[in-house]
Amino acid sequence: MQIFLIIFFAGFAYLLFVHIKRFINNENSPMINEQAFVQRKITDASIDANGFAHTTLIIVFIVNGEEIKCSVSNRLYREIPEDVTGMLLHQGTRFQQFEYDGILVEK
């Protein structure tokens, strides 16, 4: 039983560390507006220990040959199509806005 608790708390501490690190990196990143291509959209669904379903919606942008994965809301996921090029305003992995073909989609 003790080994289970140790593994559980170690896993929890690791996840907490990863999320805090991402938050700090995003906070310290400048707000950047650059040309980007919407490569694909990802729907990541999972079920927690209590049986509740969780869905994470991710849009993968290609900026200067690198992938930027932004978690977005359901509305943004629907409004931004795949295979379009436009101007992406982001802070690290935080999506702010995307403008393509004269259409502006904001957070």
Instruction: State the Cα–Cα distance between residues 55 and 27, nearest whole angstrom.
Output: 24
Show the domain range for 70: 30-106
Domain count, the chain: 1
Decide if 41 is inside a domain: yes
- DSSP strand pairing (85-91 vs 53-63): unpaired
Instruction: State the Cα–Cα distance between residues 73 and 41, nearest whole angstrom.
Output: 12
CB 46 within 8 A of CB 53: yes
Decide if 20 is inside a domain: no
For position 90, which CATH number holds? 2.40.50.660
Decide if 18 is inside a domain: no
Q: What is the pLDDT along the chain (107 residues), one digit of tens a residue?
A: 788 888 888 888 888 888 899 889 888 889 999 999 999 999 988 887 777 888 899 999 999 999 999 999 999 999 999 999 999 999 988 999 999 999 999 98
pTM reported for the whole predicted model: 0.77
